Amino acid sequence: MPQTHKMSSILLLPLFYLLFSPSSAEIAAKPGVNYGQLGNNLPSSHQSIKLIKSLKAARVKIYDTNPTILNALQNTGIQVSVMVRNEIITNISSNQTLANEWVHSNILPFYPKTIIRYILVGNEILSQQDNVTWFNLVPAMRRIRQSLVLHKLKKIKVGTPLAMDCLEVSFPPSSGKFWSSLTDSVIKPLLQFVTKTKSFFFVDVYTYFAWVADPVNIKLGYALLQPNVSGYIDPVSGLKYGDLLDQMLDALYFAMKRVGYPDTRLFIAETGWPNDGDVDQIGANIYNAAVYNRNAIKKFTEKPLRGTPLKPGVVLPSFIFALYNENQKTGPGTERHFGLLYPNGTNIYEIDLSGKTLESEFKKALPVPTNNEPYKGKIWCVAERGANTTALGGALSYACGQGNGTCDPIQPGGKCFKPDSLKWHASYAFSSYWAQFRKSGGTCYFNGLAVQTTKNPSFGSCKFPSVTL
């Protein structure tokens, strides 16, 4: 990530490069959307496909092979990417029969009425702790590919999406380098496979997380792809960067070049910006989400194609993350707020994935952001209103079971025992747990039963522990 910023300008693209770029001829620069299903309040598959069409998405990616969704996508003209679940990769890697059965059960019943174009084997495998699967990833991809050839499904390509943490070095971009420990065993075979089969190196790229990690040195406008902001000049390559996305993508291109695959094509499997989050998460708001996604779509669909400073004119096929805010995703609040739509199907902000709507043509003004600077003050963690009582009891037991006197004040006779209610006791336990364990990875989530608040829940002599930012 950049430590300093210098004036930069976007490189103009020579027309001949656009006309003769082989990648431009093979795949159109039409953004799609990731259709996640981790919510208990989402519209039906058929309604969701209607909503996807209303967003003018040319592509959709799902994280499984849900037959209801694949049936709903029949005859829509929307290109589809499906996924092999992480947990079956190892078995498939050593068993061609299993690979054949997977293709027979999950692809043949729907294709070609459903335009399945990509089979993604796993999701961010190298970010998982299960390192056994790392080394079975490419063998599993080969098995799936062999099955597609057997069934004469030549138009379907095989890939796997990795996160940016596949890079050991990402700054400056010219120093982009894959992890040395995985380069020969996983990365090179992966790049060889996707290059030979004319597929793509799929990657999840989020400028939001890079900015959050260093908001002092990385300017918000640079992360939001805003035009005319101070950019960055790579001291080694001399390339000029006008936005953080270009910088991150070129780090990947340089890394691929370093291991002998300079011409492998990138496919942005996920990118986006959260529209909301926890109190202690800066920059997660509707304004920034709309600005980033609109700018990203404009970037991907511009004519002539912009590409990146290292790869001007190349097409960057992409999926915006995600269709909905998904309330069953775990982790920080931002994880549940990357949607373009609320679960009821209404737009969180106006967006056109085709890129044909000009900024001036969006009718509704965006709400002014209030959390672009870190929150300064105390935060408590309390039970969510309407939380299931049975689940709340289990979460209370978990928080209290962590020791360190977490729940001593809510024991009989303690300063916070009264009122003797489950919600009150759970709220105290959540705040106490979070205050003690936040620095070591503890979160204010408890499977969706807890929420952060800046309102002090303390009462009388009962003082709730808090986190001070």
- Catalytic site positions: 124, 270
Tokens of 436: 């003690």
What are the phi and psi torsion angles at 307 (to 5°)?
A: 65, -145
Helix or strand run (H / E) with residue 337:
none
Query: Max CA-CA distance within the chain?
Result: 81
Residue 395 burial (C-beta neighbours within 10 Å; 0-12, 13-18, 19+): buried
Half-sphere exposure (Cβ direction) of 267: Cα atoms closer than 13 Å: 28
Q: Are the CB atoms for 263 and 194 separated by under 8 Å?
A: no
Nearest to residue 60, comparing CAs of 316, 318, 275? 318
- Cross-strand bridge partners of residue 32: 319
Q: How far, in Å, CA of 440 to CA of 191, rounded?
A: 36
* Residue that has been written with the tokens 């890697």 in this structure: 93
* Bridge-based pairing state of the strands 161-163 and 167-169: unpaired
Helix axes 188-196, 131-150, angle to 10 degrees: 20
Q: How far, in Å, CA of 340 to CA of 273, rounded?
A: 10
Give counts: helices (H), strands (E), the chain. Answer: 15, 16
Tokens of 140: 């599993």
User: Angle at the Cα of 259 (from 250 to 126), degrees rounded to 5?
Assistant: 75
Q: Are the CB atoms for 461 and 454 separated by under 8 Å?
A: no
Cα 293 from chain centroid (whole Å): 13
**Segments of 394-456 assigned E as strands:** 450-453
Q: Are the CB atoms for 121 and 158 separated by under 8 Å?
A: yes
